[in-house]
Protein backbone atom coordinates (compact mmCIF):
# COMPACT_ATOMS: atom_id res chain seq x y z
CA UNK A 1 0.00 0.00 0.00
CA UNK A 2 2.99 2.27 0.55
CA UNK A 3 3.55 2.76 -3.18
CA UNK A 4 0.00 3.85 -3.78
CA UNK A 5 0.16 6.28 -0.90
CA UNK A 6 3.37 7.78 -2.19
CA UNK A 7 1.91 8.20 -5.63
CA UNK A 8 -0.93 10.18 -4.14
CA UNK A 9 1.20 12.43 -2.14
CA UNK A 10 1.25 15.54 -4.33
CA UNK A 11 -2.48 15.94 -4.88
CA UNK A 12 -2.97 17.94 -1.70
CA UNK A 13 -1.14 18.84 1.45
CA UNK A 14 -4.11 17.62 3.45
CA UNK A 15 -3.29 14.06 2.41
CA UNK A 16 -0.50 14.20 4.98
CA UNK A 17 -0.69 12.71 8.46
CA UNK A 18 -0.06 14.12 11.92
CA UNK A 19 3.48 15.23 12.65
CA UNK A 20 5.33 13.71 15.64
CA UNK A 21 5.28 16.90 17.73
CA UNK A 22 1.52 17.30 17.44
CA UNK A 23 0.99 13.63 18.09
CA UNK A 24 3.16 13.61 21.20
CA UNK A 25 1.26 16.53 22.69
CA UNK A 26 -2.07 14.89 21.94
CA UNK A 27 -0.82 11.72 23.58
CA UNK A 28 0.34 13.64 26.64
CA UNK A 29 -3.06 15.28 26.83
CA UNK A 30 -4.74 11.88 26.85
CA UNK A 31 -4.12 11.30 30.54
CA UNK A 32 -6.91 11.22 33.04
CA UNK A 33 -9.85 13.56 33.14
CA UNK A 34 -9.99 17.19 32.12
CA UNK A 35 -12.71 19.82 32.20
CA UNK A 36 -14.67 20.11 28.97
CA UNK A 37 -15.31 22.95 26.52
CA UNK A 38 -11.91 24.58 26.82
CA UNK A 39 -11.66 24.99 30.58
CA UNK A 40 -8.68 22.63 30.64
CA UNK A 41 -5.01 23.44 31.13
CA UNK A 42 -3.97 22.47 27.58
CA UNK A 43 -6.31 24.98 26.02
CA UNK A 44 -5.00 27.71 28.26
CA UNK A 45 -1.45 26.76 27.38
CA UNK A 46 -2.13 26.69 23.65
CA UNK A 47 -3.83 30.08 23.79
CA UNK A 48 -0.87 31.51 25.65
CA UNK A 49 1.51 29.98 23.12
CA UNK A 50 -0.31 31.83 20.36
CA UNK A 51 -0.13 35.08 22.26
CA UNK A 52 3.57 34.61 22.79
CA UNK A 53 4.25 33.62 19.19
CA UNK A 54 2.29 36.61 17.91
CA UNK A 55 3.75 38.93 20.54
CA UNK A 56 0.36 40.37 21.40
CA UNK A 57 -2.56 39.79 23.74
CA UNK A 58 -4.95 38.55 21.07
CA UNK A 59 -8.16 36.59 21.57
CA UNK A 60 -7.77 32.94 20.56
CA UNK A 61 -10.47 30.43 19.58
CA UNK A 62 -10.26 26.90 18.24
CA UNK A 63 -12.49 25.52 15.51
CA UNK A 64 -12.65 22.13 13.88
CA UNK A 65 -11.77 23.10 10.32
CA UNK A 66 -10.97 25.93 7.99
CA UNK A 67 -14.41 26.08 6.42
CA UNK A 68 -15.89 26.97 9.77
CA UNK A 69 -13.02 29.09 11.04
CA UNK A 70 -13.02 31.39 8.02
CA UNK A 71 -16.82 31.50 7.75
CA UNK A 72 -17.30 32.36 11.42
CA UNK A 73 -14.57 34.98 11.33
CA UNK A 74 -16.13 36.65 8.30
CA UNK A 75 -19.62 36.43 9.82
CA UNK A 76 -18.30 38.23 12.88
CA UNK A 77 -17.22 41.14 10.68
CA UNK A 78 -20.51 41.40 8.77
CA UNK A 79 -24.23 41.42 9.00
CA UNK A 80 -26.18 39.41 6.44
CA UNK A 81 -26.78 42.47 4.25
CA UNK A 82 -23.09 43.31 4.08
CA UNK A 83 -20.57 41.86 1.69
CA UNK A 84 -17.02 40.54 1.67
CA UNK A 85 -14.48 41.27 -1.04
CA UNK A 86 -12.24 38.40 -2.12
CA UNK A 87 -10.09 37.32 -5.04
CA UNK A 88 -11.84 35.24 -7.68
CA UNK A 89 -9.58 32.32 -6.83
CA UNK A 90 -10.23 32.58 -3.08
CA UNK A 91 -11.07 29.28 -1.44
CA UNK A 92 -14.07 30.86 0.32
CA UNK A 93 -15.53 31.63 -3.10
CA UNK A 94 -14.57 28.52 -5.03
CA UNK A 95 -14.45 25.57 -2.65
CA UNK A 96 -16.62 26.07 0.42
CA UNK A 97 -20.05 25.12 -0.97
CA UNK A 98 -21.56 28.40 0.17
CA UNK A 99 -20.31 28.13 3.75
CA UNK A 100 -19.57 31.85 4.19
CA UNK A 101 -23.08 32.69 2.99
CA UNK A 102 -24.55 30.03 5.31
CA UNK A 103 -22.74 31.10 8.46
CA UNK A 104 -23.47 34.79 7.80
CA UNK A 105 -27.06 34.13 6.68
CA UNK A 106 -26.49 35.73 3.31
CA UNK A 107 -23.43 37.99 3.18
CA UNK A 108 -22.46 38.05 -0.45
CA UNK A 109 -18.89 37.53 -1.63
CA UNK A 110 -17.87 40.18 -4.14
CA UNK A 111 -15.20 38.83 -6.40
CA UNK A 112 -12.30 41.06 -7.38
CA UNK A 113 -10.21 40.19 -10.41
CA UNK A 114 -6.64 39.44 -9.42
CA UNK A 115 -3.35 38.31 -10.81
CA UNK A 116 -2.07 35.20 -9.03
CA UNK A 117 -4.80 35.43 -6.42
CA UNK A 118 -3.24 38.53 -4.84
CA UNK A 119 -5.56 41.42 -4.08
CA UNK A 120 -4.26 44.95 -4.49
CA UNK A 121 -5.55 48.23 -3.08
CA UNK A 122 -6.81 49.14 -6.53
CA UNK A 123 -8.68 45.88 -7.05
CA UNK A 124 -10.31 46.19 -3.64
CA UNK A 125 -11.14 49.83 -4.14
CA UNK A 126 -12.73 49.16 -7.50
CA UNK A 127 -15.13 46.66 -5.98
CA UNK A 128 -15.75 48.63 -2.79
CA UNK A 129 -16.68 51.75 -4.72
CA UNK A 130 -18.66 50.03 -7.44
CA UNK A 131 -22.00 50.79 -5.82
CA UNK A 132 -23.28 52.71 -2.84
CA UNK A 133 -27.03 52.12 -2.99
CA UNK A 134 -29.04 49.84 -0.74
CA UNK A 135 -29.78 47.41 -3.56
CA UNK A 136 -26.23 46.18 -3.33
CA UNK A 137 -24.76 44.63 -0.17
CA UNK A 138 -22.46 47.09 1.56
CA UNK A 139 -18.84 45.91 1.68
CA UNK A 140 -17.56 45.55 5.21
CA UNK A 141 -14.63 43.16 5.00
CA UNK A 142 -11.87 41.93 2.76
CA UNK A 143 -10.47 38.43 2.93
CA UNK A 144 -7.07 37.46 1.62
CA UNK A 145 -5.34 34.10 1.60
CA UNK A 146 -1.75 33.89 2.80
CA UNK A 147 -0.12 32.01 1.14
CA UNK A 148 -2.59 32.15 -1.75
CA UNK A 149 -4.37 29.27 -3.45
CA UNK A 150 -1.84 29.69 -6.27
CA UNK A 151 1.19 29.44 -4.05
CA UNK A 152 1.97 33.16 -3.88
CA UNK A 153 2.73 35.19 -0.77
CA UNK A 154 1.87 38.76 0.12
CA UNK A 155 4.91 40.77 1.21
CA UNK A 156 4.68 42.99 4.25
CA UNK A 157 4.64 46.01 1.97
CA UNK A 158 1.75 44.55 0.00
CA UNK A 159 -0.14 43.80 3.18
CA UNK A 160 0.41 47.29 4.50
CA UNK A 161 -0.87 49.15 1.47
CA UNK A 162 -3.79 46.79 1.35
CA UNK A 163 -4.69 47.25 4.99
CA UNK A 164 -4.37 51.01 4.63
CA UNK A 165 -6.76 50.92 1.72
CA UNK A 166 -9.17 48.80 3.75
CA UNK A 167 -9.03 51.19 6.66
CA UNK A 168 -9.71 54.15 4.44
CA UNK A 169 -12.67 52.32 2.91
CA UNK A 170 -14.12 51.23 6.25
CA UNK A 171 -13.33 47.58 5.61
CA UNK A 172 -12.01 44.99 8.04
CA UNK A 173 -9.18 42.75 6.84
CA UNK A 174 -9.32 39.00 7.38
CA UNK A 175 -6.56 36.57 6.53
CA UNK A 176 -7.31 32.98 5.57
CA UNK A 177 -4.15 31.35 6.85
CA UNK A 178 -4.78 27.75 5.88
CA UNK A 179 -1.12 27.87 4.82
CA UNK A 180 -0.02 30.79 6.98
CA UNK A 181 3.01 28.89 8.25
CA UNK A 182 4.23 28.47 4.69
CA UNK A 183 4.04 32.23 4.19
CA UNK A 184 6.07 32.86 7.36
CA UNK A 185 8.65 30.34 6.20
CA UNK A 186 8.77 31.80 2.72
CA UNK A 187 9.25 35.36 3.85
CA UNK A 188 11.35 34.58 6.90
CA UNK A 189 9.23 36.95 8.89
CA UNK A 190 7.53 36.63 12.23
CA UNK A 191 3.80 35.93 12.58
CA UNK A 192 3.39 39.37 14.12
CA UNK A 193 5.03 41.09 11.17
CA UNK A 194 2.71 39.32 8.73
CA UNK A 195 -0.48 39.99 10.66
CA UNK A 196 -1.37 42.67 13.15
CA UNK A 197 1.75 44.75 12.54
CA UNK A 198 0.70 44.84 8.90
CA UNK A 199 -2.92 45.69 9.68
CA UNK A 200 -4.65 42.30 9.74
CA UNK A 201 -7.71 42.28 12.02
CA UNK A 202 -8.41 38.55 12.17
CA UNK A 203 -6.33 35.53 11.23
CA UNK A 204 -7.44 31.94 10.76
CA UNK A 205 -4.27 29.95 11.35
CA UNK A 206 -4.47 26.54 9.72
CA UNK A 207 -3.29 23.59 11.74
CA UNK A 208 -4.51 20.75 9.57
CA UNK A 209 -2.31 21.28 6.52
CA UNK A 210 0.55 22.26 8.85
CA UNK A 211 0.67 18.82 10.47
CA UNK A 212 -2.29 18.35 12.79
CA UNK A 213 -5.22 15.95 12.61
CA UNK A 214 -7.95 18.52 12.92
CA UNK A 215 -8.30 22.09 14.02
CA UNK A 216 -7.71 25.71 13.16
CA UNK A 217 -7.11 28.69 15.40
CA UNK A 218 -8.92 32.00 15.05
CA UNK A 219 -6.98 35.01 16.31
CA UNK A 220 -8.62 38.38 16.83
CA UNK A 221 -5.97 41.07 17.13
CA UNK A 222 -8.56 43.68 17.96
CA UNK A 223 -10.19 42.10 20.97
CA UNK A 224 -13.46 44.01 20.67
CA UNK A 225 -14.19 42.14 17.44
CA UNK A 226 -14.27 38.90 19.42
CA UNK A 227 -17.21 39.87 21.62
CA UNK A 228 -19.38 36.82 22.27
CA UNK A 229 -17.46 34.86 19.64
CA UNK A 230 -17.45 31.90 22.00
CA UNK A 231 -21.24 31.82 21.75
CA UNK A 232 -20.96 31.91 17.97
CA UNK A 233 -18.65 28.90 18.03
CA UNK A 234 -21.00 27.00 20.31
CA UNK A 235 -24.12 27.70 18.24
CA UNK A 236 -22.36 26.87 14.98
CA UNK A 237 -21.30 23.43 16.19
CA UNK A 238 -17.66 24.40 16.56
CA UNK A 239 -17.12 24.04 20.29
CA UNK A 240 -15.33 20.78 21.07
CA UNK A 241 -16.36 19.16 24.33
CA UNK A 242 -13.01 17.42 24.75
CA UNK A 243 -11.22 20.57 23.69
CA UNK A 244 -7.81 19.39 24.85
CA UNK A 245 -7.52 17.20 21.73
CA UNK A 246 -7.83 20.30 19.57
CA UNK A 247 -5.60 22.52 21.66
CA UNK A 248 -2.82 20.21 22.85
CA UNK A 249 -1.51 19.60 19.32
CA UNK A 250 -1.02 23.33 18.99
CA UNK A 251 1.13 23.25 22.09
CA UNK A 252 3.23 20.60 20.39
CA UNK A 253 3.41 22.61 17.19
CA UNK A 254 4.08 26.04 18.64
CA UNK A 255 6.26 25.53 21.68
CA UNK A 256 9.14 23.87 19.85
CA UNK A 257 8.87 25.41 16.42
CA UNK A 258 7.45 22.43 14.56
CA UNK A 259 4.93 24.69 12.82
CA UNK A 260 7.79 26.54 11.10
CA UNK A 261 9.98 23.53 10.43
CA UNK A 262 7.07 21.74 8.82
CA UNK A 263 6.36 24.67 6.57
CA UNK A 264 10.00 25.15 5.62
CA UNK A 265 10.27 21.54 4.54
CA UNK A 266 7.15 21.75 2.42
CA UNK A 267 8.34 24.96 0.79
CA UNK A 268 11.76 23.49 0.13
CA UNK A 269 10.21 20.54 -1.64
CA UNK A 270 8.28 22.86 -3.92
CA UNK A 271 11.43 24.81 -4.68
CA UNK A 272 13.31 21.56 -5.29
CA UNK A 273 10.81 20.40 -7.86
CA UNK A 274 10.56 23.63 -9.79
CA UNK A 275 14.34 24.01 -9.88
CA UNK A 276 14.76 20.45 -11.07
CA UNK A 277 12.52 20.94 -14.07
CA UNK A 278 13.43 24.53 -14.89
CA UNK A 279 15.32 23.57 -18.01
CA UNK A 280 12.88 20.96 -19.30
CA UNK A 281 11.48 22.10 -22.65
CA UNK A 282 7.71 22.62 -22.73
CA UNK A 283 7.44 22.74 -18.97
CA UNK A 284 6.99 26.02 -17.15
CA UNK A 285 5.86 27.25 -13.77
CA UNK A 286 2.58 29.13 -14.16
CA UNK A 287 3.05 31.09 -10.95
CA UNK A 288 6.25 32.06 -9.13
CA UNK A 289 6.93 29.33 -6.58
CA UNK A 290 6.97 31.04 -3.20
CA UNK A 291 5.36 28.60 -0.79
CA UNK A 292 4.51 24.88 -0.97
CA UNK A 293 2.71 24.71 -4.31
CA UNK A 294 3.99 24.25 -7.83
CA UNK A 295 1.71 24.86 -10.80
CA UNK A 296 3.20 23.57 -14.02
CA UNK A 297 2.01 24.10 -17.54
CA UNK A 298 2.79 21.10 -19.65
CA UNK A 299 1.53 19.54 -22.87
CA UNK A 300 -1.42 17.20 -22.31
CA UNK A 301 0.57 14.15 -23.32
CA UNK A 302 3.13 14.93 -20.66
CA UNK A 303 0.43 15.06 -18.01
CA UNK A 304 -1.04 11.82 -19.36
CA UNK A 305 2.37 10.26 -19.16
CA UNK A 306 2.77 11.30 -15.55
CA UNK A 307 -0.61 9.90 -14.67
CA UNK A 308 0.31 6.66 -16.40
CA UNK A 309 3.34 6.46 -14.16
CA UNK A 310 1.06 6.73 -11.16
CA UNK A 311 1.42 10.37 -10.21
CA UNK A 312 -1.66 12.16 -8.85
CA UNK A 313 -2.27 15.90 -9.07
CA UNK A 314 -5.12 18.33 -9.66
CA UNK A 315 -5.57 20.20 -12.90
CA UNK A 316 -8.74 22.17 -12.16
CA UNK A 317 -7.01 25.09 -10.50
CA UNK A 318 -5.02 27.70 -12.36
CA UNK A 319 -5.05 25.90 -15.67
CA UNK A 320 -2.08 23.61 -15.09
CA UNK A 321 -0.97 20.69 -12.95
CA UNK A 322 -0.82 21.47 -9.24
CA UNK A 323 1.69 19.70 -7.02
CA UNK A 324 1.38 20.31 -3.28
CA UNK A 325 4.02 19.53 -0.69
CA UNK A 326 3.58 18.83 2.99
CA UNK A 327 5.59 18.49 6.17
CA UNK A 328 6.14 14.79 5.47
CA UNK A 329 6.95 14.89 1.76
CA UNK A 330 9.81 12.54 0.95
CA UNK A 331 12.56 14.31 -0.95
CA UNK A 332 13.23 11.15 -2.94
CA UNK A 333 9.69 11.28 -4.26
CA UNK A 334 10.17 14.85 -5.35
CA UNK A 335 13.27 13.84 -7.23
CA UNK A 336 11.46 10.86 -8.74
CA UNK A 337 8.68 13.15 -9.92
CA UNK A 338 11.18 15.55 -11.44
CA UNK A 339 12.84 12.69 -13.30
CA UNK A 340 9.52 11.48 -14.63
CA UNK A 341 8.57 14.96 -15.81
CA UNK A 342 11.82 15.15 -17.69
CA UNK A 343 11.29 11.70 -19.13
CA UNK A 344 7.75 12.44 -20.28
CA UNK A 345 8.52 15.86 -21.75
Interface residues for a copy of itself in 226-255 (CB under 8 A)?
228, 230-242, 245-246
- The residue (of 330 and 343) whose beta carbon lies closer to a copy of itself is 330
14 binds a copy of itself (CB under 8 A): yes
Give dist(CA 121, CA 85) in Å, integer: 12
Site for a copy of itself in 46-75 (CB under 8 A): 63-69, 71-72
User: How far from chain centre, in Å, is Cα 277?
Assistant: 26
**At its nearest, how many Å lie between a copy of itself and the CB of residue 79?**
7
83 binds a copy of itself (CB under 8 A): yes
307 binds a copy of itself (CB under 8 A): no
> Pattern 248-287, binding to a copy of itself, x per CB under 8 A?
----------------------------------------
User: How far from chain centre, in Å, is Cα 226?
Assistant: 20
180 binds a copy of itself (CB under 8 A): no
Work out which of 46, 119, 124, 137 binds a copy of itself, going by CB under 8 A. Answer: 137
Q: How far apart are the first and last CA of the chain?
A: 28
34 binds a copy of itself (CB under 8 A): yes
> Pattern 194-233, binding to a copy of itself, x per CB under 8 A?
--------------xx---xx-------------x-xxxx
User: How far from chain centre, in Å, is Cα 121?
Assistant: 21
How many residues bind a copy of itself (CB under 8 A)? The answer is 78
Work out which of 52, 80, 170, 282 binds a copy of itself, going by CB under 8 A. Answer: 80
Where in 45-179 does DSSP place strands (E)? 59-63, 82-87, 108-112, 138-145, 172-177
**What contacts 78, CB < 8 A, 6 or more positions away?**
84, 104, 107, 140, 141
Contact between 131 and 89 (Cβ < 8 Å)? no
Give dist(CA 238, CA 240) in Å, integer: 6
Rg of the chain over CA atoms, in angstroms? 20
Phi, psi of 220 (to 5 degrees): -100, 115
Amino acid sequence: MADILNEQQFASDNYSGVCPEAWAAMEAANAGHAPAYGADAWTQRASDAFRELFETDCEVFFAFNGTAANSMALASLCQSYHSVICAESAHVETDECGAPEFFSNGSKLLVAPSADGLLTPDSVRAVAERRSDIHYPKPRAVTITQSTETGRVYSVAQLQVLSEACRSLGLRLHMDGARFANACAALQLSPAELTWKAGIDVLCFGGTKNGMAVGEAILFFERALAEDFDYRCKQAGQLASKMRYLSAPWVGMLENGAWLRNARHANACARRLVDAVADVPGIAAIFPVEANAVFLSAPPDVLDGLRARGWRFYTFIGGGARFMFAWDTAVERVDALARDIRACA
